[in-house]
Amino acid sequence: MSQALKRRFREQILIMFGREPGKPEQISPQAKEIHDLKRVTNKADLQAAKEAHRLHQAHSHKWRNRRWVTLLLANLLFVVSYHFDIQILEGALTASRFIGFHLIDLNSALQVMLAHKHVINNLLIGTGTVLVLWVLLGGRTFCSWVCPYHLLAEFAEKIHLRLVKMKLVTDQPIDRRLRSLFWLLFAVLALATGYTVYEAISPTGIASRALIYGPGLAMLWVLALLAFEIVFSRRAWCRYICPIGLTYGVVGIISPVRVKYTLKDCFHEGDCRKVCLVPHVLDTVIKGRAVDAEVPIGPDCTRCGLCVDACPTGSLKFDVKGLGKLL
């Protein structure tokens, strides 16, 4: 790994905690050569090539469709197991048992241990498999490929964008550092009260339990969050509040599965950033920002695949470190 990429990797971790991305201080010779070449390329030729790609490449939803199917199957397996009592996947997303193996959400386990003020061995055992899984796949993969609230928020986002287009609402960005502050706040509340405060309001847990056991009054809170995201701030919970996303982002820092950006083919048209849940992770696609010829996208990426589907030139691809691109 080049020095520029190492520096970029450290910066991506800080960006995950709320730092705003900026222009790189160090760029590899290979990236500099490509950037320089792009500066002298005839703009008309570049625009013509870009339009040709748009005309001949239909917008793909391959990764989005795969993700939706995976998310629905994972959550419906809970429903089927409960209603038909087949005991394959019991419980809910916060704590479950898969064919006898205990699986516990990492953030939930952390909240419980903070509330009880000691390490609970059974929880450590239950989180072991989950930890290994998300270290391998990339922690925030949980957010887009498993979390039921993510799917609800995705549909709410479509409504929000339509209302924005009609000029009925505007998107209000919020300081991303709030997510780190909320993570600390929920940790302190668990310690101080002996109660897992976050678990009581987590839309992930509420939506999961509502799907399996039937909706209760807590779903009104989830609907209120979705309404807030529709009329005020796009994807506000996932971007600016949810401590689960931060916990799993930290877990996935060394994940071999990532989205990788290739500089030379990119037209910097910005389609990828328009569809991204966390567009700050794609600052490297902005003209002049890439620090190397190939740049892995940072750990705050949810691996949702929307940018891969949207990219007209294939400059963004799923990749497994040491093995190459995924199909």
Q: Is the CB of residue 307 less than 8 Å from the CB of residue 259? A: yes
Q: Within this chain, do residues 225 and 78 fall inside the same structural domain, yes or no?
A: yes
Q: Within this chain, do residues 81 and 49 fall inside the same structural domain, yes or no?
A: no
Residue 54, pLDDT score: 60
What total of structural domains would you count in the chain? 2
Q: Within this chain, do residues 264 and 287 fall inside the same structural domain, yes or no?
A: yes
Residue 308, pLDDT score: 94
Q: Within this chain, do residues 187 and 115 fall inside the same structural domain, yes or no?
A: yes
* Domain range enclosing 310: 3-57+256-325
pTM (2 decimals)?
A: 0.90
For residues 44-50, give the mean pLDDT: 62
Residue 58 has pLDDT above 60, yes or no: no
Q: Within this chain, do residues 7 and 67 fall inside the same structural domain, yes or no?
A: no
Q: Which of 250, 266, 291 is the last residue of a domain?
A: 250
- Tell me the C-alpha distance between 122 and 128, whole Å: 10
Q: Within this chain, do residues 171 and 311 fall inside the same structural domain, yes or no?
A: no
Residue 7, pLDDT score: 86
- Tell me the C-alpha distance between 283 and 291, whole Å: 11
For residue range 7-42, list pLDDT tens digits in order: 888 899 999 999 999 888 889 989 888 888 877 665
Torsion of CA 183, 280, 73, 324, to 10 degrees: -120
Q: Within this chain, do residues 35 and 170 fall inside the same structural domain, yes or no?
A: no
Residue 59, pLDDT score: 61
Q: Within this chain, do residues 119 and 188 fall inside the same structural domain, yes or no?
A: yes
- Tell me the C-alpha distance between 307 and 304, whole Å: 8
Q: Within this chain, do residues 244 and 261 fall inside the same structural domain, yes or no?
A: no
More confident residue, 314 or 226: 226
Residue 324, pLDDT score: 66
Q: Is the CB of residue 141 less than 8 Å from the CB of residue 134? A: yes
Map residue 26 onto helix, strand or coil: coil
Q: Which of 200, 234, 250 is the last residue of a domain?
A: 250
Q: Which of 250, 267, 283 is the last residue of a domain?
A: 250
Q: Within this chain, do residues 47 and 132 fall inside the same structural domain, yes or no?
A: no
Strands 294-296 and 324-325: unpaired
Residue 166, pLDDT score: 94
For residue range 114-160, list pLDDT tens digits in order: 999 888 887 888 899 899 999 999 989 999 999 999 999 999 999 99
Both ends of the chain: CA-CA distance in Å?
A: 24
Find the range with the poorest average confidence among 68-77, 116-125, 168-177, 266-275: 116-125
